[in-house]
Structure 1
Amino acid sequence: MKKVLFVVFVLLVSLNSVGQKFDKYFPKKDLTTVGVYYYPEHWDESQWDRDLKKIAEMGFEFTHFAEFAWAQLEPQEGVYDFKWLDKAVEIAVKYKLKIVMCTSTATPPVWLVRKHPDILATYEDGTKTDHGSRQHASFSSNYYRSYSMKMIEQLAKKYGNNKNIIGWQVDNEPARFLDYGKDAQQRYRNWLKEKYKNINALNDAWGNKFWSGIYGSFDEINIPLHKEWGMNLHSQLDHYRFADEETATFLDEQAITIRKYVSKDQWITSNYRSNYNESFVGMSKELDFDCYTRYLVYGGSLGIGKNGYRLGDYTAIGMANDFFRPLKGMYGCMELQPGQVNWGSINPQPLPGSVRMWLWHVFAGGSKFACTYRFRAPLYGYEQYHYGIVGTDGVTPTPGGEEFKQFIKEINTLRKKYDAKSKLPEYYLKRKTGILFNADNVMGIELNKQTKEWNTIGHFLKYYKAAKSIGAPVDFVRDTANFSNYPFLIVPAYQMIDQKMIDKLTLYAKNGGNLIMSCRSGIQNRQGHLWEAKFYEPMWNLIGSQIDSYDLLMPQSPGIIKFNNQEFGWTSWGDLLKPNKETDVWGTYEGDFYAGTPTVISRNLGKGTVTYVGVDSKNGDLEKQVVRKLYQKQNAAIEDYPEGVMVEYRDGFGIAVNYSDKIYNINLPESAQIIIGTKAIKTADVLVWKY
């Protein structure tokens, strides 16, 4: 009991200190704030007053300027025009709207591209991008990086002390671009020199004795061709690492430039597309916090049930919340779908209520703000047919606009009921779960999956869904995290490992933590080499078992795992375990030449436990049952939420959202005070209560 109370105390202290760090930007009593993108340069100046007034009347508290406006800000080299932006800022202030100011590095002007064509990114086949799209300049272009800072410096000087500018967004949806241009080639070689110091160390790390791949100097190394069959996997992984650092450091350079001139009350961030297989997300050290973009209905996820495609994947927002929040202790959603979009494979209308539900889901994870692209639906350009908060007439609210308006009113209701002394429920904290995420491992597995049946992020999602189904608060944590903050730690497919991490996980369990590891964990060292030992041998002492080999099945011949007298299908990866005598067998393979071989095992280690799930099940039901069994054995109070129902707690409130195709009746304590909704939560509906 003392150990549990200590863990709860540590969690409360940690959450409190993180909250205080951002109070100067986002007062806790406000709970959240809501904004909308506006592009004054797209509309006749005579309409700006009407539009910004409408934004304020609908309840929005901030707007978002200059994201793609470099050509208007600097119409000629070294000639800057801020008069139009000054007027837009002035009108926004008149209607008491705060402003997020943006750099425009996603869209360089044509005069810059034509005068310096080398800034354009080069594809693997040698063709180049060109003016007319966005993100067509290379982050590895030395000239582009340096010239961009001149424009950003002028913008920061102009607005850095404007008290109505609350923060800055650098770039827009920055991504990894594998540029093959001249500057990128030299920067890649320099990066390799810095990392390996001498060419022999690189040859060893890349395994270049294989296929006569040895280099005599760094100058002989070209950027690897990722589409070329048989290309060295270790060189490809290093190239991904390099490209991700190029993205991260470009954002950092922008933040450093801005910070020279801006008020300490202005924050700096960027908005990412939640590309979990790219390591630059969260890598930029100079950003105050990180934000994500989220679109759910675009012909992608089919969701749950016949009309699930109109609501989207129920984990999309939840996973983004839980992934971005731990990066720096706070997050926002800078771009949330406002309604029907135009750029997907098929672009259906969202189900009525979905936009409001998404907003509540963003809020539920602890977000300090939500913003949407965009106020007015565009009349021209690539994003024609993309809905805004108002329609093509510039006046009439869209269905999504009405739902944003409703959410804003509901948040104002919550603000009146906010209690600064509220704490998270103790039973909720007792099941707090960390999921260890290492982008290197994700990238490495994706380069060498061994079977088309394997999906790395899909594998993570099986454990994430399992944890959320029992009502666990989840953080995606990095290698440097303090694991002791989590009563439960899940480590999915941690392929590349070292003894230091094995020792850290061992100590976590010995000190009372409950560790769950999955298949593929620890089969390679940090260089991506198989151990010069038996399969997984450095892991044996931790998991309490040998691993003799692994199997991969054909999709037409799935295998069976027997667990708790139930059967579960699998095809993509199965470790064949030989556990020690003190290790309990929870699940075995059935129906193959190794029938009866253990695949799910668990053991006590010191004051804690280690559970190893040596297989990737077909649909995640096995992982869910393993998680439930472990938490119940540890006397953690758990829930049993159906697929599509997500429940979170923050600031004294419980929030439940329903992406499923059925009404869900939630059990609440008698003391709960319902503020919004009813206990019978309909599809695309929300329940909010004060606990």
Structure 2
Amino acid sequence: MPFKIDFKIPMLFILLNSHAFAQNIEAFFPSEALTTVGVYYYPEHWDASQWDRDLKNISDMGFEFTHLGEFAWAQLEPEEGKYDFTWLDKALELAAKHHLKVIMCTSTATPPVWLVRKHPDVLATEEDGTKMDHGSRQHATFSSNYYRSYSMKMIEQLAKKYGNDKRIIGWQLDNEPRRFLDYGQDAPQRFRDWLKEKYKNIAALNDAWGTNFWSGTYTSFDEINLPLHKQWGMNLHARLDHYRFADYETASFLDDQAKEIRKYSSPNQWITSNYIPMYDVSFIGMSKELDFVSYTRYMVHGNNDGIGSQGYRVGDYSSIAMANDFFRPLKGAYGVMELQPGQVNWGSINPQPLPGTTRLWLWHVFAGGSKFTCTYRYRAPLYGYEQYHYGIVGTDGVTPTPGGLEFSQFTKEINTLRKKYNTKSTLPDSYLKRKTAILFNPDNVMGINLNKQTRVWNTTEHFLKYYKAAKSFGAPVDFVRDSTDFSKYPVLIVPAYQMIDQQMIDKLTAYAHNGGNLVLTCRSGIQNRKGHLWEAKFYEPMWKLIGSQVESYDLLIPQAPGNIKFNNEDFEWISWGDLLKPNKETSIWGTYDSEFYKGTPAIVHHPLGKGTVTYIGVDSKKGDLEKQVLTKLYNQQNIAIENYPEGVMVDYRDGFGIAVNYSDTIYNMNLPHTAEILIGTKAIKTADVLVWKY
């Protein structure tokens, strides 16, 4: 039998709880369970006579929960105002019969045809006027007043019906919510209202948008239309606000759903949504009513090469790791709602994953601290857009797929760990001493991406150069936000933090002054929070913090890379290079070794109070420079680091060490003699895993 999880919440907790993340995650996900594993099931896709068989098989394979109602609005409300829960009641009854808990979903990603035909204004409209239509999913816009209000009626009925159902552990809102740059009927006025709330008066908006440029001045909010992103020369600040507004629409729609559910639901039920990991939007983490966040991850779909000739069957080793470390700090806990079960159908090329890879991904998700992992889906679809998409079982409905067997294997292995779990376990001291934060501000990412200055700049790749380096050191990494207390991190990396204010400069200064090791990178602080260049010399408000002036910057053409000299080694760069003039007390760590400014400093370092500040003013071509600079800094500060090769990731949680290998060679793990190997061997093969108790 699967490990039995007690989802009851202590009465004192219920009495003290109001809502949202003040709740104790321990009550939802007891530590001794470590994690729990589930699978999507769509009873509406199959003959009702098969439901009992399917749910029994799900349980027998070791799954502990299932997931219902995600795309079923037409079945839940076949006619306006007429609801049918009989089929869902039966599915819930059978799930409980086979000891499966349930995640209940809102179906707002798939409105029924009667709704969109009666109210076509709910359909999203593109910038060119093209209107979406029924027949796909996510075709209704969050900027439709009617759609937002009518959705709540359906959600109210669901919450009244199932909000106190003990078989339901939690709720998923929508599905993979997205940013709609909608140009429909209600969007312009909703945008104007959002701008009024943000700026209060038109003079403040004109100032923020710099509307004196090109005679763009407004005299009233009513004159403002949605900016056209495809129109050349459109005001950058207006476009940035349009992104912010669209993200607000997504986040507030989820918050509205959560509030509606909480009117009727038990505090025993948590609420989340499942996001596609995107690092150029602000709606992820913006919804305040979610108990925690979860993400979706598909690793093999022809769009990345991985490592070696078979790497495309394993995926990019940083994808799950970065998602773990990005989503976990948002609320202190996270889950993975969709993890690829095998071959998919929607990629540019849809190869089979390498044998063992699905299990590798499961362990990698677990290593980051995930409270649950769920997969889409149990049965492979026979019709519809996702034909050929693998499930846990194949098209006959009963035969496990290779990925299904690997999910089942993982559930057995987690049961092994549960027997070894020690409530008093702590993280290794050396691991904690190299804990690293990476400061992420979505406004900065969106702002840079609107105005890159060079086609070869890639903001996410810039972050990844530092992230991959820190993970190769065996460092636990958190992506943190502006409001985070930085003091608990020995190292804080601030990549391309373009828009800044004096308050953040003071906060970063205090962090270093009090003993932190601050690393800033190129483009950090070149603009104020409005996205305006300072009325000063380049980066001038940053000069004191970084211990250097910034005289100018350069951008190179791809076919003529420049060179950087660091530690007597040469490194290539093309995308952005700040030309520095350091103060007398500031050390020069790296210089430009080509171009007309050869010999000009590119990387500087200086002590500040009890800590240090390092400024890396250049974005290297491959990330090798960034890793070497960080290596020097960690060594200088006596922070013990590992040197794991590319593709090997090692993390610790709950008294266990987990190593996963995405590389194309065997990696021999060095373990202390006291380690107890629970799963795997020290010689970790490609797509294999090693788990030990330390």
TM-score norm. by structure 1 comes to: 0.97
Check if 1:554 corresponds to 2:557. yes
Deviation, structure 1 residue 488: 0.5
1:414 maps to which residue? 417
Check if 1:50 corresponds to 2:72. no
Q: 1:522-533 alignment to 2 at 5 Å?
A: 522-533=525-536
Equivalent-residue separation in structure 2 for 1:204 and 1:20 (angstroms)? 41
Check if 1:396 corresponds to 2:399. yes
Equivalent-residue separation in structure 2 for 1:684 and 1:227 (angstroms)? 43
Is contact 2:500-2:525 (8 Å) kept? yes
Is contact 2:23-2:291 (8 Å) kept? no
2:498 maps to which residue? 495
Deviation, structure 1 residue 21: 2.2
Equivalent-residue separation in structure 1 for 2:594 and 2:181 (angstroms)? 45
2:621 maps to which residue? 618
CA deviation vs aligned residue, 1:306-344 (integer Å, no higher than 9, x gap): 010001110000000000000000000000000000000
The counterpart of 2:280, out of the listed 277, 281, 284, is: 277
Check if 1:593 corresponds to 2:596. yes
1:633 maps to which residue? 636
Equivalent-residue separation in structure 1 for 2:639 and 2:395 (angstroms)? 52
2:12 maps to which residue? none
2:651 maps to which residue? 648
Equivalent-residue separation in structure 1 for 2:231 and 2:64 (angstroms)? 50
Letter in 2 for 1:408: T
Equivalent-residue separation in structure 2 for 1:626 and 1:310 (angstroms)? 32
CA deviation vs aligned residue, 1:247-269 (integer Å, no higher than 9, x gap): 00000000000011111110000
Letter in 1 for 2:443: D
CA deviation vs aligned residue, 1:210-236 (integer Å, no higher than 9, x gap): 111111111111000111111110000
1:146 maps to which residue? 149
The counterpart of 1:180, out of the listed 183, 186, 203, is: 183
CA deviation vs aligned residue, 1:355-384 (integer Å, no higher than 9, x gap): 000000000000000000000000000000
Check if 1:605 corresponds to 2:608. yes
Q: Determine helix, strand or coil for the equivalent of 1:96.
A: coil
Q: Determine helix, strand or coil for the equivalent of 2:410.
A: helix
Q: 1:314-393 alignment to 2 at 5 Å?
A: 314-393=317-396
Is contact 2:294-2:336 (8 Å) kept? yes
Percent identity, please: 78
Check if 1:509 corresponds to 2:512. yes
The counterpart of 1:575, out of the listed 575, 578, 593, is: 578
Q: Residue 155 and residue 276 in structure 1: after superposition, are their counterparts in 2 closer, same or farther (change >3 A)?
A: same
Unmatched 5+ residue regions in structure 2? 1-20
Equivalent-residue separation in structure 2 for 1:584 and 1:306 (angstroms)? 43
Equivalent-residue separation in structure 1 for 2:135 and 2:610 (angstroms)? 61
1:311 maps to which residue? 314
Equivalent-residue separation in structure 1 for 2:224 and 2:37 (angstroms)? 49
2:11 maps to which residue? none
1:6 maps to which residue? none
Letter in 1 for 2:631: R
Equivalent-residue separation in structure 2 for 1:20 and 1:439 (angstroms)? 26
Q: Determine helix, strand or coil for the equivalent of 2:500.
A: coil
Equivalent-residue separation in structure 2 for 1:146 and 1:200 (angstroms)? 33
Equivalent-residue separation in structure 1 for 2:506 and 2:662 (angstroms)? 40
CA deviation vs aligned residue, 1:471-518 (integer Å, no higher than 9, x gap): 110000000000001010000000000000000000000000000000
Check if 1:247 corresponds to 2:213. no
2:468 maps to which residue? 465
Is contact 2:493-2:518 (8 Å) kept? yes
Deviation, structure 1 residue 182: 1.8
Q: Determine helix, strand or coil for the equivalent of 2:24.
A: helix
Q: Determine helix, strand or coil for the equivalent of 1:689.
A: strand
Question: What CA RMSD, in Å, does the superposition of the two structures yield over aligned residues?
Answer: 0.8
The counterpart of 1:288, out of the listed 288, 291, 300, is: 291
Equivalent-residue separation in structure 2 for 1:339 and 1:619 (angstroms)? 31
Deviation, structure 1 residue 354: 0.5
Equivalent-residue separation in structure 1 for 2:360 and 2:647 (angstroms)? 12
Give the stretch that moved more between structures: 191-200 or 40-49: 191-200
2:677 maps to which residue? 674
Equivalent-residue separation in structure 2 for 1:429 and 1:581 (angstroms)? 34
Q: Determine helix, strand or coil for the equivalent of 1:268.
A: strand
Letter in 1 for 2:664: D
Letter in 2 for 1:181: G
2:7 maps to which residue? none
Check if 1:85 corresponds to 2:88. yes
Equivalent-residue separation in structure 2 for 1:196 and 1:96 (angstroms)? 53
Q: Determine helix, strand or coil for the equivalent of 1:24.
A: helix
Letter in 2 for 1:247: T
Is contact 2:196-2:221 (8 Å) kept? yes
Equivalent-residue separation in structure 1 for 2:305 and 2:294 (angstroms)? 25
Equivalent-residue separation in structure 2 for 1:248 and 1:188 (angstroms)? 15
1:27 maps to which residue? 30
The counterpart of 1:74, out of the listed 73, 77, 97, is: 77
Letter in 2 for 1:60: F
Deviation, structure 1 residue 20: 8.9
Q: Determine helix, strand or coil for the equivalent of 1:87.
A: helix
Give the stretch that moved more between structures: 591-600 or 375-384: 591-600
Deviation, structure 1 residue 127: 1.2
Letter in 2 for 1:163: K
Q: Which structure 1 residue ranges, 4+ long, deviate > 2 Å from structure 2?
A: 18-21
Deviation, structure 1 residue 676: 0.4
Check if 1:658 corresponds to 2:651. no
CA deviation vs aligned residue, 1:550-580 (integer Å, no higher than 9, x gap): 0000001000001011110000000000000
Check if 1:158 corresponds to 2:169. no
Equivalent-residue separation in structure 2 for 1:643 and 1:527 (angstroms)? 39
1:479 maps to which residue? 482
Unmatched 5+ residue regions in structure 1? 1-17
Q: Residue 534 and residue 322 in structure 1: after superposition, are their counterparts in 2 closer, same or farther (change >3 A)?
A: same
The counterpart of 1:137, out of the listed 132, 140, 154, is: 140
Equivalent-residue separation in structure 1 for 2:477 and 2:347 (angstroms)? 30
Is contact 2:677-2:692 (8 Å) kept? yes
Check if 1:59 corresponds to 2:95. no
Letter in 1 for 2:229: H
Letter in 2 for 1:175: R
Deviation, structure 1 residue 592: 1.3
Deviation, structure 1 residue 276: 1.0
Q: Determine helix, strand or coil for the equivalent of 2:325.
A: helix
Q: Residue 82 and residue 19 in structure 1: after superposition, are their counterparts in 2 closer, same or farther (change >3 A)?
A: closer
